[in-house]
Chain A
Amino acid sequence: MPKSPMEHKSRSDIAREHAARRDAAPAVALLVVTQGSLIWLDPSRPTNPAEIVWALSPLAAISWLVWGQIRAVGRADELQRLQQLQALSIGFAVLIVLLTAIGLLHAAEIGEIAQQTQIALIAGVLAWVGASAVLSARSR
């Protein structure tokens, strides 16, 4: 009988995945709600403290996701921690290089810094996630 995908995972693998999902699911839901409300209602130039809090509301979900990631590193075994360190290093390196480039472009008065910074952040996170996936796949 062919093995199901679950039989290829150890009990600790399954426990870690379930724990990661438990940590991430509410954070993702909160992010969808907060970011979604900002995109849909599109507030601009907040004029009172409540609107400023609303504009910053996705930070709660982002912080929750970061906390979940820290917990995931704590649950990881020695190889997974090494892979996560390597992936974080790659993501951080990409982010640093791009932020430096943005600084140089800003000094030369080229481009829109707000947009460039967002691109740098997204690129850094994508580099981290991509590196994590590649490193993990190499040892499967």
Chain B
Amino acid sequence: MKNRLKELRAARDWTQADLADRLDVSRQTINAIETGRYDPSLPLAFKLAAVFDDSIESIFIPAHDQSQPRSRSQP
């Protein structure tokens, strides 16, 4: 599943290790999620949304959804 993790992380100048520390997971897991090799569990997805103060739907893009996600900040 595509996601905006790298973009959101870069906006905060966090490394993958920084994000992994905030979520208490391995850096490997963050890399696998960013590259689409692994889809996180629901609890981890909620943690990601909380860390980025955004909704799960705006961070993760289902394969069938071709439109751009809207963040909470957009009208």
State which residues 17-76 of A face B: CB under 8 Å: none
Give the chain A neighbours of B15 by CB distance below 8 A. Answer: 7
Give the contact-size bracket for chain B: 20 to 34
SS of B interface (majority)? helix
Q: Considering residues A7, A9, A82, which has the most beta carbons from chain B within 10 angstroms of its beta carbon?
A: A9
The reply to whether A140 and B31 form a contact with Cβ atoms under 8 Å apart is: yes
Smallest CB separation, A11 vs chain B (Å): 5
Give the contact-size bracket for chain A: 10 to 19
Give the chain B neighbours of A140 by CB distance below 8 A. Answer: 28, 31
Give the chain B neighbours of A82 by CB distance below 8 A. Answer: 38
Decide if B17 is an interface residue (CB 8 Å cutoff): yes
The reply to whether A139 and B17 form a contact with Cβ atoms under 8 Å apart is: no
Return the 5 tightest CB-CB contacts between A and B, nearest first.
A10-B20, A139-B32, A79-B29, A77-B25, A10-B17
Instruction: List A residues at the B interface (Cβ < 8 Å).
Output: 7-13, 16, 77-80, 82, 136, 138-140
